[in-house]
A and B are shown apart, each in its own frame.
Chain A
Amino acid sequence: KQEVTQIPAALSVPEGENLVLNCSFTDSAIYNLQWFRQDPGKGLTSLLLIQSSQREQTSGRLNASLDKSSGRSTLYIAASQPGDSATYLCAVISGSARQLTFGSGTQLTVLP
């Protein structure tokens, strides 16, 4: 059974810092890995999708890497802003129905 772990569970940083969120998964037989953002009481917004054959994806200040063989992904956020405050969820796509398995998330607070 696929299990996804995110570390840390919560992170508080001052504005302008660069930061790294970590995600690990137990079964390396994945198709994709997707990073989401969730604001309090809201739905999930897709940030980045990494195909299993890719090593990284970039979107603006966000960069996600994937090391499939070691079962790890990182989300790098450059020059953090208070508007980045949210919960960040990592999810891997695996199994016959390509279902998502989520980590429990990292709650990020960026202090002005």
Chain B
Amino acid sequence: NAGVTQTPKFRVLKTGQSMTLLCAQDMNHEYMYWYRQDPGMGLRLIHYSVGEGTTAKGEVPDGYNVSRLKKQNFLLGLESAAPSQTSVYFCASRQPGLQGYTFGSGTRLTVV
């Protein structure tokens, strides 16, 4: 009963480097989401997916790309990291309808 698993848990990047954050869920959920959490800003939606092969922009999509090639995985990419992308990133998933969200434990990313 893993739920939503995020890897890595911690990462330090230099400005301009690229990386991919992986989110995997084993609940067969259709919808998956990426959020970032910053002090004083709360959690804000970056991108989301309503099914395999689909992606859409959220509130703060700039500087990020996503892919959902398999239903169980949702990848978040940073092509050229900037210090403003220092944050804690959370992945979440849910089923369509009136179900609630299940969150992963987060990835703490620092860009120096």
A-side residues, CB < 8 A to B, are 31-32, 34, 36, 41-46, 49, 51, 89, 91, 93, 97-100, 102-105
Contacts and interface: CB of A to CB of B under 8 A. Distances in A.
A36 to B, nearest CB: 8
Contacts of B90: 43-44
17 contacts: A31-B98, A36-B103, A41-B108, A43-B90, A43-B103, A43-B106, A44-B103, A46-B101, A46-B102, A46-B103, A91-B43, A97-B50, A99-B48, A100-B35, A100-B92, A102-B42, A102-B44
Interface of B: 31, 33, 35, 40-45, 48, 50, 56, 58, 90, 92, 94, 96, 98-106, 108
Contacts, number: 56
Interface of chain A: mostly helix, strand, loop or mixed:
strand
A99 B100 contact: no
B101 A103 contact: no
